[in-house]
Amino acid sequence: MSRIRMGMVGGGEGAFIGAVHRMAAALDSDIELVCGAFSSDPERSRRSGAALYLPAGRVYDDYRAMMTAEAGLPADQRMQFVAIVTPNHQHFPVAEAALRAGFHVLSDKPATLNLDEALRLRELVSETGLLYGLTHTYTGYPLVKEARLRIAAGDLGNIRKIVVEYSQGWLADRQEEADNKQAAWRLDPAQAGISSCMGDIGVHAANLAEYVSGRQIREICADLCAVVPGRTLDDDGTVLMRFDNGARGVLCASQVSVGEENALGIRVYGDRGALEWRQQEPNTLWLKWPDRPTEMLRTGAPYLSELAAANTRTPMGHPEGYLEAFANIYQAFAGSIRARETGCPPDARASDCPGIESAIRGMTFIELAVAASDSDVKWHPFVQY
């Protein structure tokens, strides 16, 4: 067998997330970057490709040229999937071009600029029969998967309360005016969409709440705001949630919490017990009980599930983090492609990759949170599309 061949759109020089995607894809030596259109500026794309040691003929001036040229290559040479690491407004047009050209798609989140595009994307995925994945990175942590399985097994009993928080402080001042490319596009409605905070990190928190608990959001009440004067899009927000089993939830997301780095965490409370996990200490999962001492589970331990073990690379005491979790998403997606091509059923990891339905729910959450915050009505139904 050969490695899965990947192309990339976006992620050129000066783009933080592009390098993360490439490191994650390369970690298990199962995926090879073979081509790319790394910038809307052709010269920057060529410089980026050269820095990555790609042949000049596989570095393209734009994504449309890339799709056409790659589709014309022999089957054993052309890319098999494209990773989309552009600002949000380009996610749908690139995904559409890739799917129509016959390529699988793995996209950064949120999936599209708006919900209408996400629904059109689902139609394209269904029409083409190709694979679509979404990099909801935090679902890739071994102990997040362990938490999900423990709850599904009923260890915590009936789930009553879900509290999820994602706090950052990097936008506490006007970074968009400080030549910060990452801040500038995230706070520009034309590139980011209708939300900055909820679209960038709140959607991760909502996804984590649903993934870990196994429950779906059914109603929300939201309060979003732009704390820093002069901003059009939200940089802070709180969402109350009601889940399909009657559980209540609270989601707090902020990009203006001074001193915070990447403080994503979740607490889930059932009628028999509770659990807690934090992204900045990802190798520890706490289980809490009313009638016995709190338990601390650790990544790599022999008592964890097969799924958690399959997503762990090092022995106990050798910390794994963000890049490994990101790599688990890539490994799962590559596994799905390999299963498709060999006719073998995908393994548990491949079956656990976020897909088009996660994309739809994410865009629904973002648009509903903004609409609910702007409304005088308290509770808003989370429509199933």
In 3D space, the residue among 152, 138, 200 whose CA is nearest the CA of residue 324 turns out to be: 138
Q: In the Cβ-directed half-sphere of 129, how many Cα atoms lie within 13 Å? A: 1
Our count of domains for the chain comes to: 2
121 and 152 inside one domain: no
Position 179 in a domain: yes
Residues 18-27 have pLDDT tens digits of 999 999 999 9
266 and 199 inside one domain: yes
Q: Name the one residue in this structure whose structure tokens are 């996804």.
A: 207
Q: Tell me the pLDDT band of 58, cut-offs 50, 70 and 90.
A: very high
**Structural domain that includes position 26:** 4-134+329-353
Position 323 in a domain: no
State the pLDDT at residue 212: 98
Distance CA 18, CA 240 (A): 33
- Whether 143 has a pLDDT exceeding 80, the answer reads yes
State the pLDDT at residue 90: 98
178 and 257 inside one domain: yes
Compute the mean pLDDT over every residue in the chain, rounded to the nearest whole number.
Answer: 96
Position 324 in a domain: no
Residues 227-250 have pLDDT tens digits of 999 999 999 999 999 999 999 999
Residues 66-84 have pLDDT tens digits of 999 999 999 999 999 999 9
175 and 212 inside one domain: yes
105 and 165 inside one domain: no
Position 385 in a domain: no
303 and 335 inside one domain: no
Residues 145-160 have pLDDT tens digits of 999 999 999 999 999 9
- The sheet carrying 284-288 orders its strands as 295-298, 284-288, 274-278, 263-270, 159-167, 248-254, 236-243, 217-225, 380-381
- Whether 29 has a pLDDT exceeding 80, the answer reads yes
Return the structure tokens found at 367. 């648009």
16 and 156 inside one domain: no
Other CB atoms within 10 Å distance of the CB of residue 92: 21
Position 149 in a domain: yes
Q: Is 230 left (phi over 0), alpha (psi -120 to 50) or beta?
A: left
Position 322 in a domain: no
From the number of C-beta atoms within 10 Å of its C-beta (0-12, 13-18, 19+), residue 340 rates as middle
- CATH number for the domain that contains residue 107: 3.40.50.720
State the pLDDT at residue 351: 78
**Secondary structure, 3-state, the chain:** CCCEEEEEEECCCCCHHHHHHHHHHHCCCCEEEEEEECCCCHHHHHHHHHHCCCCHHHECCCHHHHHHHHHCCCCCCCCCEEEEECCHHHHHHHHHHHHHCCCEEEECCCCCCCHHHHHHHHHHHHHHCCCEEECCHHHHCHHHHHHHHHHHCCCCCCEEEEEEEEECCCCCCCHHHCCCHHHHHHCCHHHHCCCCHHHHHHHHHHHHHHHHHCCCEEEEEEEEECCCCCCCCCCEEEEEEEECCCCEEEEEEECCCCCCCCEEEEEEEECCCEEEEECCCCCEEEEECCCCCCEEEECCCCCCCHHHHHCCCCCCCCCCCHHHHHHHHHHHHHHHHHHHHHCCCCCCCHHHCCCHHHHHHHHHHHHHHHHHHHCCCCCEECCCC
Q: Which residues, 6+ apart, have CB-to-CB distance to 201 below 8 Å?
A: 166, 168, 253, 255, 264
Position 320 in a domain: no
**What is the rounded radius of gyration, in angstroms, for the C-alpha atoms of the chain?**
21
Q: Tell me the pLDDT band of 348, cut-offs 50, 70 and 90.
A: confident
- Whether 349 has a pLDDT exceeding 80, the answer reads no
State the pLDDT at residue 347: 79
Average pLDDT of the segment spanning 152-178: 95
- CATH number for the domain that contains residue 204: 3.30.360.10
164 and 64 inside one domain: no
80 and 223 inside one domain: no
- Whether 221 has a pLDDT exceeding 90, the answer reads yes
Distance CA 242, CA 159 (A): 12
155 and 52 inside one domain: no
Position 147 in a domain: yes
Look at 176 and 248; give whichever has higher pLDDT. Answer: 248
Average pLDDT of the segment spanning 168-172: 97
145 and 13 inside one domain: no
State the pLDDT at residue 350: 75
345 and 308 inside one domain: no
